[in-house]
Structure 1
Amino acid sequence: MKFSTLVCITFLVVILSSLAPIKSSLVENSVKPPCTDIEITGCVPAIILGTPPTAECCGKLKAQQPCYCDFIKNPAFRPLVTSPQAHAALGFCGIPYPSC
């Protein structure tokens, strides 16, 4: 798959997830905080384009830190957490990348 196609697909997933959060059946019975939605409002430029994340974005990423391994296991969320831009955004916000 070409890189531009992957970027377009990821962008669509980001936009759609911000309009209607995706529910994950993989983690609904978890005892951790609910990891069924990924909240990336304000993080789209950082995750898609690699620009520095805003303070709002860093706050949302830090709040969701316990859910990253569940997000990586979910095919709908995986590109939003495992991309090089996501790695950079986490690093910029001082969040270690999860070792699942």
Structure 2
Amino acid sequence: MKFTGAICIAFVIILLSSLALTNAVVEDEKLVVCNPKELEPCSPAVKTRSKPSTQCCAMLKKEEPCLCGYINEPVYGQYIKSNNAHKAFSACGIPPLHC
């Protein structure tokens, strides 16, 4: 019985650590794998204040559960926090971030 319990605990630890490595988020009981590179179609909107493309809005909606996590990443945080990004969020129907 002790061995089975130890195995279960080890499995949970491995599962949780693998989620951290893949930047996964659990939202509404669904696993969302976060990939900030999928936001590349939004680059023109964030850099030049242009209107976000349909593809950008689709990616923003897909990555919405991950946006607060990106804020703390040095490479992506500056873009997610920018006024242009917030304008793109608004244009795509993404509510203001409350992280």
So what's the TM-score if we normalise by structure 1?
0.65
Matched positions, count: 73
Residue 83 of structure 1 pairs with residue 85 of structure 2 = no
**Greater per-residue helix proportion:** 2
The structure with the greater share of residues assigned to strand is 2
Please tell me the residue identity of whatever aligns with 1:56. Answer: Q
1:97 aligned residue: 96
Residues 12-91 of structure 1: matches in 2 within 5 Å? 27-28=20-21, 30-32=24-26, 33-35=32-34, 37-38=35-36, 39-91=38-90
- Mapped to 1, the partners of 2:91 and 2:24 lie a distance apart of 29
Identity %: 36
Tell me how far apart the structure 2 counterparts of residues 31 and 67 of structure 1 sit (CA, whole Å): 7
- Structure 1 residue 98, shift from structure 2 partner: 1.5
Cα distance, 1:40 vs structure 2? 1.9
Whole-Å Cα distance in 2 between the matches of residues 45 and 31 of structure 1? 26
CA distance in 1, matches of 2:24, 2:40: 24
Change (3 A) 1:30 1:61: closer
**Distance in 2, Cα, partners of 1:96 & 1:31:** 18
Distance, in Å, in 2 between the alignment partners of 1:95 and 1:67 is 12
Q: RMSD in angstroms over aligned alpha carbons? A: 1.6
Higher relative contact order structure (alpha carbons within 8 Å, sequence separation ≥ 6): 1
Q: Which runs of 4+ in 1 moved over 3 A?
A: none
Rg (Cα) greater in structure: 2
